[in-house]
Amino acid sequence: MTPIPDVVELTRALIAMDTINPPGNEHDCCSYLAEILEGGGFDVTVSEFADGRSNLIARIGRQDEDALPICFTGHVDTVPLGNEPWTVDPFGGEIRDGKIYGRGSTDMKAGIAAMAVAAMNKESAALTTSPGVVLIFTGGEETGCDGAKALCNDPELLGYSGAVVVGEPTSNMPLVGHKGALWLHAISRGVTAHGSTPELGVNAVYAACRAVGKVADFGFNVPPHDVIGSPSINVGRIQGGINVNSVPDHAEFDIDIRTIPTQDHKEIRAHLESYLEGDVELQTSVDVDGVISDDAHPWIQDVFDRITPHLGARPDVKTAKYFTDASVLTPAYGNPPTIILGPGDAAMAHKTDEYSEIDKLYKSVEIYETIIDGWCGLE
């Protein structure tokens, strides 16, 4: 058996691998994890869904419909570094003041490392005869769950699961769901002309600005969800024109809508198209549903019970505003109860000088281990 790596050192090794998406390049990272997990007794598959891009599926246990395993999942891709300069090497995994710094440290390579170490810490012989564990580490999550979608197109490779734990950053607080995401790309078209004779053209930037102003005032006309809250809408990017002395014939912007379970994404898009009155045409770039689990479910309650000693108090029922691969994996598994739980701090996700706190990282290993114990009957 391969020695089980220290979770901090494994996190640093993962940070050192540049998996910024785009382009992703997750294959080498997944292959590195595969070698470690194979040495720990797991049956491992690395599945490419595009050139240089992969998902990892690692299993141990009975893994059948009569003994559904518990799934731990996370993504290895990260967002770009941003324009602001870093004060540390974003791929260096520097340790300072009890924190590990680097792109992906909190979102979510610390969570990946903790899941892998927690599963390997369990006696493989005991896991083999239990319902077992499946680890699913994906690529392409940051751009709309691309890797998870590819995996779910292969039901045999996906397999079964009776519960899902998503290691996104929550500071080790369990969340019972998250909002959905509908990202729309808006395009306005005009007619170009010389900047000194704008009356001879049609300004696409003006049309885009009219539409952006309308988006700012758009109302969803739905009551808030009891747990997830209200939907939101934001224009995150706008671009138009190519030079100052021409009437621009093209402009575009991107709309980020976060939805609640009572909403239908097709209806939202249709409503928004009508509301914008033809100023722009809309194209869907990301469409992933939210996830919500009944906090009264016995497994959810058991997880809350097990986490309480680690947190010092019983956690409140809360959800995340971001989306996760559970948008795709949970329905593909038949909607088992799903918890979002990871060592990272959501407030540090995507930020310059991103870091993860080491004490929370070690604590997450303990939490994942006790969740495995409960599911697999190892106590």
Q: How does pLDDT run across 80-100, given as a tens digit for each residue?
A: 999 999 999 999 999 999 999
In the CATH hierarchy, which fold is given to the domain comprising 7-178+291-376?
A: Aminopeptidase (3.40.630)
- Say if residue 66's pLDDT is above 90: no
| Closest alpha carbon to 88 in 361, 359, 358, 351 | 351
Average pLDDT over residues 32-48: 97
- Say if residue 1's pLDDT is above 80: no
Mean pLDDT of the chain: 97
pTM of the model: 0.95
Q: How confident is the model at residue 293 (pLDDT cuts 50, 70, 90)?
A: very high
Neighbouring residues of 42: CB distance < 8 A, sequence distance ≥ 6: 58, 59, 60, 119, 120, 135
- Where are the extended beta strands (E) located within 266-326? 281-288, 291-292
- Say if residue 251's pLDDT is above 90: yes
CATH 3.30.70.360 fits 180-288, yes or no: yes
- Say if residue 376's pLDDT is above 80: yes
What phi, psi does 365 have (nearest 5°)? -60, -45
Is 189 exposed, middle or buried, given 0-12, 13-18 or 19+ CB atoms closer than 10 A? middle
Q: How confident is the model at residue 101 (pLDDT cuts 50, 70, 90)?
A: very high
Model pLDDT for residues 116-164, shown as the tens digit of each residue: 999 999 988 899 999 999 999 999 999 999 999 999 999 999 999 999 9
CA 340 – CA 329 distance, rounded (Å): 13
Instruction: Report the share of the chain in percent with pLDDT over 70.
Output: 100
Backbone Cα Rg of the chain: 23
What phi, psi does 147 have (nearest 5°)? -65, -45
pLDDT of residue 174: 98
Q: How confident is the model at residue 321 (pLDDT cuts 50, 70, 90)?
A: very high
pLDDT of residue 255: 98
Q: What token pair was written down for 373? A: 């114990």
Model pLDDT for residues 168-205, shown as the tens digit of each residue: 999 999 999 999 999 999 999 999 999 999 999 999 99
DSSP secondary-structure letter at 191?
Answer: B
Model pLDDT for residues 348-374, shown as the tens digit of each residue: 999 999 999 999 999 999 999 999 999
More confident residue, 278 or 113: 113
pLDDT of residue 64: 82
- Say if residue 256's pLDDT is above 90: yes
Instruction: Report the share of the chain in percent with pLDDT over 90.
Output: 96
CA 48 – CA 126 distance, rounded (Å): 31
- Say if residue 311's pLDDT is above 80: yes
* Sequential DSSP letters for 351-372: -TT-EEEHHHHHHHHHHHHHHH
Q: How confident is the model at residue 65 (pLDDT cuts 50, 70, 90)?
A: confident
pLDDT of residue 63: 82
Neighbouring residues of 182: CB distance < 8 A, sequence distance ≥ 6: 257, 259, 265, 268, 269, 284, 286, 287
Q: What token pair was written down for 79? A: 């967002």
- Say if residue 316's pLDDT is above 80: yes
Q: How confident is the model at residue 379 (pLDDT cuts 50, 70, 90)?
A: confident
CB neighbourhood size of 254 (10 A)? 17
CA 5, 9, 15 angle in degrees (round to 5)?
Answer: 125
3 state SS of 294: coil
Q: Which sequence spans correspond to the domains of the chain?
A: 7-178+291-376, 180-288
Counted residue by residue, the chain has a size of: 379
pLDDT of residue 216: 96
